[in-house]
Chain A
Amino acid sequence: MEQGQNRWTDERMDNIISLLLRTGVILSAAIVLIGGIMYLVQYHHLVPDYRVFRGEPTTLRHFGTILRGVGTFHSRSWMQLGLFVLVATPVARVAFSIFGFYKERDRTYVLLTLVVLSVLLFGLMER
């Protein structure tokens, strides 16, 4: 029934997931590092104070405004973009699993994975 070369197996899915995770982490670390270097060059002399929680400025809380900051080479926006890429990595892994389980014709797991993806997207939704 299944053709040897197009067979979609758990093993193949494992390999793609592995590649996806590695790419996401490396990309994110690279962006954070670029932002981090800009940040330290600009502000190395300041005295940091994290004793009291004030919360981040709203421009660093939302994806849209962070992208705008990246355009103007704002260092903290660059680092925050890298962190967003990092968070998106497992989300992309889950999204890919839907495709993988669909290829394996495993309807139960397509459904379960859709539930997980919905919870993730609900968490990331702008409020």
Chain B
Amino acid sequence: MSLLLFTLLIWVCSLAAGLLGSLTGLGGGLVIVPLLLIVFKVDIHYAAGASLISVIATSSGAAAAYVKEGFTNIRIGMFLEVATTLGALFGAYLVAKISPSAIAIIFGLVLLYSAYMSVRSRTSAPSSLPPDPLATRLRMNGVYPAIAGPTSYSICRVPLGFLICYFAGLISGLLGIGSGALKVLAMDQAMEIPFKVSTATSNFMIGVTAAASAGIYFQRGYIDPGLAMPVMLGVLFGSFMGARIMPGTPSRKLRIIFDGAILILALEMLFKGFTGKL
């Protein structure tokens, strides 16, 4: 395959990944690594490097829109970024210490988990927990524009959320993904932040988290510009189109298609990891 065809094919696939990722809210970065690995036979380190770059692009692009809408809680984001960036540094450092097979297995598990998080019901049970005094002291409680008008919310279990975010950062640095599903777990489940605020703030944090590992990725030579170029431009353009075509909640059918694709990629990654065919 010539370089021109190879680049064009990767661009088209990345565009589709970005479009679907944006329409389903799962992010396009999640499928880039398995796609490059399985379909294009790219080494896992180069794949992670290109994916990390695309994650920064989509996160920053989408965050620009979300921040303006008033869903993003910048204080929560800033506080949790202490955890995610430290985790990301450690994760990026670990890439060279762990075998590619082990990375593929961890990747498969994260894909399975993300697909599960996506099908699970979104209505969180009403909280019985008291707001965390630490959240009050750190001025994290906020107001967001709900359908019924501005609604205030308070935050629980700050230390637990912080800990999960460290882990989310580590996974992001290790696999070159945004690990949005883990960040939403920390905010939506542990800290009981409203779902819309959780997803917007998680997306806001993804770019900074990924930037923390990018320096190490560059210096270790994981980022190949010829490969990252079509991936970044494709995912960015795809997610931009997604935001334009269908803002708001995605259709159920689309979500099932994307979840199905993720499930297949997860099994493929686990298989590759266990058989060592990398």
Contacts and interface: CB of A to CB of B under 8 A. Distances in A.
Interface in B176-220: 207-208, 210-216, 218-220
Contact of B7 (A40, A57, A93): A40
A29 B41 contact: no
Residue from A24, A50, A113 having most chain B Cβ neighbours under 10 A: A50
A123 B215 contact: yes
B175 interface: no
Interface string A52-78: 111111001110000000000000110
Nearest to A63: B218
B225 interface: yes
B72 to A, nearest CB: 7
Contact of B53 (A57, A86, A112): A86
A28 B117 CA distance: 32
Contact of B41 (A18, A50, A91): A50
- What is the predominant secondary structure among interface residues of chain A facing chain B? helix
B61 interface: yes
Contacts, number: 191
A22 B53 CA distance: 16
A56 B233 contact: no
- What is the predominant secondary structure among interface residues of chain B facing chain A? helix
A109 B75 contact: yes
Nearest to A57: B221
Interface residues of B, number: 65
Interface in A69-127: 76-77, 79-80, 83-84, 86-87, 89-91, 93-94, 97, 106, 108-109, 112-113, 115-116, 119-120, 122-127
Contacts of B274: none
A40 B214 CA distance: 25
Given A79-B225, A122-B89, A125-B215, A14 B70 contact: yes
B20 interface: no
B215 A90 contact: no
B212 A119 contact: yes
Nearest to B225: A79
Nearest to B142: A10
Given A61-B221, A90-B208, A123-B213, A22 B61 contact: yes
Interface of B: 1-4, 6-7, 36, 40-46, 53, 56-57, 59-61, 63-65, 67-68, 70, 72, 74-75, 78-79, 81-82, 85-86, 88-89, 92, 138-139, 207-208, 210-216, 218-230, 232-233, 236
Given A46-B3, A86-B57, 6 more contacts: A25-B236, A32-B228, A32-B233, A50-B40, A51-B42, A76-B225
Interface of A: 10-11, 13-15, 17-19, 21-22, 24-25, 28-29, 32-33, 35-36, 39-40, 43-48, 50-57, 60-62, 76-77, 79-80, 83-84, 86-87, 89-91, 93-94, 97, 106, 108-109, 112-113, 115-116, 119-120, 122-127
13 contacts: A14-B67, A18-B68, A25-B57, A29-B233, A53-B44, A61-B219, A62-B219, A90-B56, A91-B211, A93-B207, A94-B81, A109-B78, A122-B89
